[in-house]
Amino acid sequence: MTEYQALVFFDLDGTLLGSDATIPKENKQAILQLKKKNILPMIASGRSPKEIKQITAETGIDSYVSLNGQYNVVENQVVSKHAIPIKQINELMTFSKSLNHSLACYTEDEYAACYSTKSMEKLYQLDHAPLPRISLDFHEKNEIYMVYLFSEEPEKDSLYRQTFARELTFFRDSPYSLAVVLSGQSKKSGIQQVIKRLNLNELPTYAFGDGNNDLGMFEAVQTAIAMGNAATNVKEQADFITKSHVEDGIRFGLKHFGLLD
């Protein structure tokens, strides 16, 4: 394994990605320059490994904390993964159906939903991602690492958190959805697992993000960098605020900390 000089974690949506949900050429060049300097660029995202690999195909990135810390990989090697028990998924399906909310279950490389809803369609349109196929038994035939709950009713989020407080954690990551993972898992725990497993505790660590599910990531690194387009509460938790994701904010932040020439 390379003797790295630092670790840099990037959220995708609203951070490393441009307005068209692809990585701008300036960011691709920045990542390649980091790798040449033996600085390890890692994705930290709620997206699946398959999506991450498709999005970053031209960057050489082979390391990521995916599905909000549920499936974590360094140099194409899995360092930790956390499947959600079928019992918990079935209980969540029953409860969510009573509120007319659908679910999508995620493995490391595919996903399927119970049934289609408008909220589901809006989320995948927002992410520029294909709609999930419909399957009622997908979770019974596959290891599930994350669940997406489709809801445009944030006032009901607390019902889920109260009902499943011991088993599951819910992150509202868009107006249309909540990411659901095992209790105690998050981008923060995924990053911590990567650093510990690779014995890289002494390295400088940085993270770029813009959303509420990036706050845990900020807690896991030495230097937290909020994008200019980040929510106010996210900026308040950052050590530095760079420019927005459509104003070359990634390179601006990297240069500010001397990670790029």
Name the residues annotated as catalytic: 11
Phi/psi of residue 161, nearest 5 degrees: -65, -35
Decide: 146 and 109 in contact? Cβ < 8 Å. no
What is the rounded CA–CA span in Å between residue 158 and residue 126? Answer: 24
Q: Hey, what amino acid is at 236? A: E
Q: Which two tokens stand for residue 211?
A: 């959303």
Q: Hey, what amino acid is at 240? A: F
> Residue 23, by phi and psi: left (phi above 0), alpha (psi -120 to 50) or beta?
beta
- State which H helix or E strand residue 149 sits in: strand 146-150
What is the rounded CA–CA span in Å between residue 156 and residue 167? Answer: 18
Residue tagged 């991450």 (tokens): 52
